[in-house]
Amino acid sequence: MKNLLIASLLVAAVALGAFCFQQQKQITQTKAQLASMKTQLAETVVALENSKEAANRAKMLQNALTETAAAAGEQTKQVAQLQTKLASAKTNAPANGLGALAGMFKDPAMKEMIKTQQKAVMGPMIDKQYAALCRQLNMTPEESASLKDLLMKKMLAGADAGMSLLDGSLDATKRAELTKQMKTETDAYDAQIKEFLGDSGYPAYQNYEKTVPDRMAVSQFTDQLGSGANQLSSAQQEQLAQAMSDARTSFKWTTDYSNQKPTDGDYAAMFSDDKINQFTQEKERFDQQFLAQAQKILTPEQATSFQAFQKTQRDMQIMGMKMAASMFAPQGH
């Protein structure tokens, strides 16, 4: 991705809410699994009460039931702790509205919890987003796994630095040091990726990287449509992602957060009201222009859903930037 730092900052800013949502979803699924396992256990004992096979199966189900119940209890405990911290942060937040929330990112236990969730999310995401590149480079399963491991380490290095940068007590000098440190770490992983892929494979990886943000957006839209009558075909997904990447590259951005880099760690200037407002206007114009291109790829029903998807994604981006602006606002503002 062109600017791992910006992505890391925005991801970290909304990571707590995402963690709560994901854990609650997992708890719901786990409870459903528990109910199903209890039913299976009861049916096994009733149907094959005198059978040795039934006894073995019942024992296996009972063990699995115990382990699943314990996992559900731990998930519930984690969510309760996180919700308590969030409530406290909102209650004790200073004038900028997010200072106490930013302080939560300094909590080692909280940071570890978020990192664990990020790993759980990033693994499937990397598998999905880089599968086409692995096929393009004719990689073996072992080679694909090695590349994905390097990508995971690179992304986690950026995410960890992003959380550290959300510490509201940091000055511009410290932020610049953290930014330099993150660049050093991610550059080191890039060097390993280059060595792993070689002179022939690395240029293909670089070109593919430029399309990854757009592939992620198309993937999210595809998941949103689901497997019903309006689902996207593989060909539509590839065409839409490539068209989006080409359009984004050729659009004349004045404020482009996918390329822009801060000067001397001055994130307050980078996320100023003027820059965010300017980006908002340009993003709305870009989305309107690209919708006309998307309509040539999508059915009318898909295009209507895509327009709503664009607005949701745009609103989330802007919300994340405003959160970052509050985090990086000068002390006393």
List the domain boundaries for the chain. Answer: 213-333
Three-state helix/strand/coil letters over 244-296: HHHHHHHCCCCCCCCCCCCCCCCHHHHCCHHHHHHHHHHHHHHHHHHHHHHCC
Quick one: which of 82, 71, 75 has its CA closest to 24?
75
Nearest-angstrom CA–CA distance, 211 and 202: 15
Residue 14: the pLDDT is 46
Name 287's Cβ contacts closer than 8 Å, sequence gap at least 6: 310, 311, 314
Nearest-angstrom CA–CA distance, 288 and 291: 5
Q: At what angle do helices 141-165 and 4-47 cross, to 10 degrees?
A: 120
Burial of 328 (0-12, 13-18, 19+ CB in 10 A): buried
Name 222's Cβ contacts closer than 8 Å, sequence gap at least 6: 231, 232, 237
Sign of CA dihedral 222, 257, 96, 81: positive
Q: Which amino acid is at 218?
A: V
Alpha helices in the chain (DSSP H): 4-47, 52-92, 99-104, 108-129, 131-136, 141-165, 172-209, 212-225, 234-250, 267-270, 273-294, 300-328
Nearest-angstrom CA–CA distance, 153 and 68: 30
Residue 167: the pLDDT is 64
What is the pTM (predicted TM-score) of this model? 0.62
Residue 68: the pLDDT is 53
Residue 124: the pLDDT is 86
CB 205 within 8 Å of CB 189: no
Distances (CA, A) of 247 to 8, 10, 169, 243, 310: 24, 23, 39, 6, 14
How confident is the chain (333 residues) per 10-residue block, as mean pLDDT? 49 49 54 58 53 54 56 53 49 45 61 72 85 93 94 81 66 78 87 94 92 89 86 92 91 72 58 86 94 95 94 85 69 50
Cα dihedral: 304, 307, 312, 315 (round 10): -150
Nearest-angstrom CA–CA distance, 140 and 134: 8
Nearest-angstrom CA–CA distance, 298 and 241: 12
Residue 180: the pLDDT is 82
CB 60 within 8 Å of CB 37: no
